[in-house]
Amino acid sequence: MTEHVQSAGLLPAQESHWELMCGLSPDAPGASRFIVVDSRFIDSPMDHEAVKLAFADVTRRQDALRLVFDTIDYEPRMRIEAATEPQVEYLDLSALGTAAQHDRIAELVYWENNRSFDLLRGPAWHAWFVRLAADRHFLNVCLSEAIADGWATKALVEDLLAGYAAQVGTAAPPEPALSFAEMDAIQRSRMEPSGDRLEFWRERLLPLPDGSLFQARTTARTSVLTRDRIDVTFTPELLATLSRRAWQARTTVYMVLMAAYHALLSLETGQERTVLSTVTLGRASRRERRSPLPCTVDPYVVTTLTPGTSLHEAVRRTHAAMEEAMSNLVPYTSLARAINPAFDSQRPWPDSDLCHGNFYAAAFGDSDITLAGMRVRAPLLPGREPAGGSTPTLYAGTLPSAQQDVWTAYCGPSMEVYPERDGCALIYNGEMYAHEEMKSYMDSYLWVVEEMAASPETTMRELSERYALRDAR
């Protein structure tokens, strides 16, 4: 029997993701397909024995890669194995032509984008290392968000390649990784659920939003795993103006774009007070940034835009609301119990009931970088279903009504801002939400962004009047 060295409950930063995973797949949260996937091309000769040693080294040093769940209830227990085999498969495609290699990689990525994990067996990650040529390789990493977050693949890839460089003698060994226990202590010290903080959230989040902005179209044959996106790239002129508006409000372009989304939600709902869920890295130190353990936190940004509020003031209020949220972070279950006395009897209770929408930035944008002396490229690879393959899907009609409700909320529109803040994407399930309606919504958001850039002194009353005229046309 494999020896294990530590038993633990969830990290504070794991709690909200775990609640969602339990809602999506109550009997087997690892089957929720709530995963993070990353693919990289590595343009460099590589010693394959050194690659295997590097995977063994990173598995030994990073507790996330040795986490196994002992229970999968609402308060799960995990163990950290003292040792485990790296979950890596090796493939040599160097004998194939370029087109055949491309096809195989597209199929591989497709299946990884749909991977499930048995959390009770663990470990909850998998990697492919593919040889394409003597000086060209492909790396794919997939982790369950039960043990990781959106930053995790970046941390893992960088740590792996640093370990590889140490194996071939071109760099010193990586520094010791933060242990699970160390990360737990850091997060608990930052997210202490004090009475003042819990009262802050009761005041900000109650009453809860009433209903969804969009009506889902769901039939028994609706696939809950479908994902579509509508992308918009800002012109250089618009981005430059947004940067000026950010400077004038002493904030960032990201906060300007969030304020625009609050303004759109206010226009659409007719409510002055709107709540957005966003994501922050949650890693204050260099050692934290080198860990794949879950650290990202989900502040709820509550902004009130009265009719007389100018768009410039909307940015300032959104910035202040974000600062307040970050100063009052608490673990998700503590927050949920504070605002919903029936939380424990209603679980799973993901945070979709807390907010009007989701607004976040892509975790990182490493498109072409050099790591440990090697050129590493991060291509956009959506994957492709193999010919004659069986699509791994999940139909709404097979799910109990409570589980359907969680999936419906999860599949609703979310706004993702590009890493360089030069555009954004509306992500949604196209089988549940009509593309025409989502396209109109994205067009409306871009209109608000442009209004905010061009006329920051416009009030919400004036914006609402223009919005009504725009809809009338």
pLDDT average, residue stretch 36-40: 93
Which pLDDT belongs to residue 186? Answer: 97
Tell me the two tokens of residue 69.
Answer: 């769940």
Spatial contact of 298 and 16, defined as CB atoms under 8 Å apart: yes
DSSP-assigned letters across all residues of 270-309:
--SEEEEE--B----SHHHHT--S---B--EEEEE--TT-
Distance (Å) of CA 448 to CA 57, 259, 272: 50, 10, 16
| Tens digit of each residue's pLDDT (9 = 90 or more) over 334-358 | 999 999 999 999 999 999 999 999 9
* Distance from C-alpha of 267 to C-alpha of 359, rounded to nearest angstrom: 17
Task: Answer yes or no: pTM beyond 0.75.
Answer: yes
DSSP-assigned letters across all residues of 305-333:
--TT-BHHHHHHHHHHHHHHHHHT---HH
* Distance from C-alpha of 292 to C-alpha of 97, rounded to nearest angstrom: 35
Confidence grade of residue 383 (pLDDT, cut at 50, 70, 90): confident
Report the range of poorest mean pLDDT among 83-97, 258-272, 384-398.
Answer: 384-398
Same domain, 130 and 239: no
Confidence grade of residue 393 (pLDDT, cut at 50, 70, 90): confident
* Spatial CA neighbour of 155 closest among 297, 295, 53, 299: 295
Angle made by CA atoms 209, 213, 214, in degrees to the nearest 5: 145
pLDDT average, residue stretch 250-274: 97
Does residue 78 form part of some domain?
yes
Contacts 24+ apart (CB under 8 A), 276-279: 276/300, 276/301, 276/303, 276/355, 276/356, 276/357, 276/358, 276/359, 277/301, 277/351, 277/354, 277/355, 277/357, 277/358, 277/359, 277/360, 278/322, 278/358, 278/359, 278/360, 279/150, 279/360, 279/361
Does residue 375 form part of some domain?
no
Strand, coil or helix: 417? strand
Same domain, 112 and 250: no
Does residue 369 form part of some domain?
no
Which pLDDT belongs to residue 109? Answer: 93
pLDDT average, residue stretch 321-346: 97
Same domain, 160 and 247: no
* Distance from C-alpha of 469 to C-alpha of 472, rounded to nearest angstrom: 5
Last residue of a domain, one of 184, 214, 245: 184
Which pLDDT belongs to residue 7? Answer: 77
Same domain, 172 and 201: no
The order of strands in the sheet holding 67-69 is 4-8, 78-81, 67-69
Which pLDDT belongs to residue 4? Answer: 46
Tell me the two tokens of residue 134.
Answer: 């003597």
- Dihedral over Cα of 33, 230, 445, 449: its sign: positive
Residue 413 pLDDT greater than 70, yes or no: yes
Residue 366 pLDDT greater than 80, yes or no: no
Report the range of poorest mean pLDDT among 4-8, 73-77, 169-173, 385-389.
Answer: 4-8
Instruction: Identify the DSSP state of 186.
Output: H
**Chain mean position to CA 353:** 18
Range of the domain at 466: 193-364+385-472
pLDDT average, residue stretch 18-22: 97
| Tens digit of each residue's pLDDT (9 = 90 or more) over 132-187 | 999 999 999 999 999 999 999 999 999 999 999 999 999 999 999 999 999 999 99
Q: What is the CATH number of the domain that holds 350?
A: 3.30.559.30
Residue 390 pLDDT greater than 70, yes or no: no
Residue 243 pLDDT greater than 90, yes or no: yes
Strand, coil or helix: 391? coil
Tell me the two tokens of residue 399.
Answer: 């799910």
Spatial contact of 198 and 330, defined as CB atoms under 8 Å apart: yes
27 Cβ contact list (under 8 Å, min separation 6) = none
Confidence grade of residue 373 (pLDDT, cut at 50, 70, 90): confident
Which pLDDT belongs to residue 1? Answer: 32
Tell me the two tokens of residue 81.
Answer: 């194995």
Same domain, 114 and 211: no
| Tens digit of each residue's pLDDT (9 = 90 or more) over 202-228 | 999 999 998 788 999 999 999 999 899
Same domain, 199 and 241: yes
Which pLDDT belongs to residue 389? Answer: 64
| Rg, the chain, Cα only | 23
pLDDT average, residue stretch 305-332: 98
Q: Tell me the percentage of the chain whose pLDDT exceeds 70.
A: 96
Which pLDDT belongs to residue 424? Answer: 97
Which pLDDT belongs to residue 204? Answer: 97
* Distance from C-alpha of 70 to C-alpha of 79, rounded to nearest angstrom: 7
Last residue of a domain, one of 184, 217, 247: 184
pLDDT average, residue stretch 395-407: 93
Residue 2 pLDDT greater than 50, yes or no: no
Q: What stretch of H or E contains 357? A: strand 357-361
What mean pLDDT is reported for the chain? Answer: 93
Same domain, 203 and 166: no
Tell me the two tokens of residue 304.
Answer: 């009130």
- Between strands 423-428 and 228-233, the pairing is antiparallel
Strand, coil or helix: 72? coil
Spatial contact of 366 and 379, defined as CB atoms under 8 Å apart: no
Which pLDDT belongs to residue 267? Answer: 97
In the chain, the number of structural domains is: 2
Residue 307 pLDDT greater than 90, yes or no: yes
Last residue of a domain, one of 184, 207, 231: 184
Which pLDDT belongs to residue 473? Answer: 62
Same domain, 341 and 360: yes
Residue 70 pLDDT greater than 50, yes or no: yes
Q: What is the CATH number of the domain that holds 18?
A: 3.30.559.10
